[in-house]
């Protein structure tokens, strides 16, 4: 399970996603799962990042996204 809510708040340097916008950290977090991955976060905030946007679109296309929208 990957919980992203605390990382979506704006940091003092104006970086809205903080360390969650780091491509290597995202890759590590997503690739560690061996059987199932549950990501909890605010989709619209995460989609600001190109990599998160691509991941969320992939999930939506494969019916693996449950959102509040």
Q: What is the pTM of this model?
A: 0.74
d(CA 43, CA 53): 8
Two structure tokens written together for 3: 């919980």
CA angle 67, 20, 44 (to 5 degrees): 30
Two structure tokens written together for 16: 């809205």
Q: Which residue has the higher pLDDT, 55 or 68?
A: 55
Could you tell me where the DSSP H helices lie in 1-69? 23-31, 43-46, 50-61
pLDDT digits (tens, 9 = 90+) for 1-58: 777 765 444 444 445 666 677 888 888 888 988 889 898 888 888 888 899 999 999 9
């Amino acid at each position: 399970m990957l919980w992203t809510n605390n990382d979506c708040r704006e940091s003092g340097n104006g970086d809205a996603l903080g360390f969650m916008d780091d491509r290597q950290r995202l890759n590590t977090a997503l690739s560690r799962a061996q059987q199932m991955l549950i990501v909890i976060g605010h989709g619209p905030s995460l989609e600001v990042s190109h990599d998160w946007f691509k991941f969320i679109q992939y999930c939506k296309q494969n019916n693996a996204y449950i959102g509040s929208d």
